[in-house]
Amino acid sequence: MPKREANLPEGTRLTNGVKIGRYRISNSRVQCECCNEVMTITNFSRHPKTGKGTPYDRVRIVDTGLSLTEWTNLSTNNPPVFLVQYSDQPDRESWVQPNQLLMSEIQDYFTRGATLVKTEDESPLPPLIESRDPSDDMSEEESDGDIDWGDTSFSVVFTDWTSLPAESIGRIIAFSGYTGWCSLRSVCRKWREMSDQAYYNLCRLMPPARYTQALQKKTHVTSSTESQTDLAMRDRDALCKLKDKN
């Protein structure tokens, strides 16, 4: 079975500087629970009323349909995702609470970190999180031991969403039909390969008449004057030829 999570132990630092591990947060600081390294999030403005350093003007609150724990995409050739996971599992209504705003900023950093990885030739973005020594630059009332870290923490884990088991791709196509296959194979290379294989297997298993009937679905995919059946038949033939050739 393909492994979805890479075997990256806590403390592993990735090429963009993000480290796998659990973190505690308090105001503008995050502390790694693994090595107690304290990082400060910089460059965000003060709240107009409280003066606290919550990143109100920099936070992207975008309804992507994702929950906070389903997070974003850092990329090289094998796109991983950094998952920022709250210990208290907030629901979406808690998006706008200060801690969550801070989390969004951290998440934004991870996203920008991805850009750093992807565009090595370009000038790197200034870091939003600056690593520093725990004892360095602490105010008097905020010595390391006095920080109230609260009970909100998050984890950074390495996730590869593309690694759905190949068997499941076949099932998903069986449930979503021809257009499901079209959409799936257009997402990324890995899914394209798995989708084509699954589709080919469906072709082999199904008698043509049943097959075309099975894959007829009213969906957004079509552009030409060809009917879904025509397209399905042509795709099926093309795939079979491709497989025979290989």
Partner 1 sequence: MASESISVTTSDDQTIQLSRKHAQMSQTINSMLEDSVGADQEAIPLPNVSSEVLKKVIDWCTHHENDPAPVEKVKKLNKKREYKAKNSTISDEWDKNFVNAELRVIVDILLAANYLDVKGLFELMCKHIANELKGKTPDQIRERFGIQDDLTEEDKAAMRKAWGATKNDS
Chain residues in the site for partner 1 (CB under 8 A): 1, 3-4, 64-67, 69-73, 75, 77, 79, 81, 83, 85, 159, 161-162, 164-165, 167-168, 171-177, 179-180, 182-189, 191-192, 205-207, 210-211, 213-215, 217, 219-224, 226, 231, 235, 238
CB of 138 to partner 1, least distance (A): 34
CB of 87 to partner 1, least distance (A): 13
Please state, in angstroms and rounded to a whole number, the distance separating the CA atoms of residues 183 and 146: 53
With respect to partner 1, which residue has the nearer C-beta, 39 or 157? 157
**Cα 104–Cα 105–Cα 106 angle in degrees, nearest 5:** 90
What is the C-alpha to C-alpha distance for residues 123 and 53, in angstroms, rounded to an integer? 27
Nearer to partner 1, 46 or 171 (CB): 171
Our CB check for partner 1 shows the closer of 238 and 240 to be 238
Report which of 215, 207, 209 is spatially closest to residue 231, judged by C-alpha positions. Answer: 215
Give min distance, CB of 47 to partner 1, in A. 29
Cβ at position 170, least distance to partner 1 in Å: 9
CA distances from 62 to 26, 59, 66, 67, 68 (A): 23, 9, 9, 11, 11
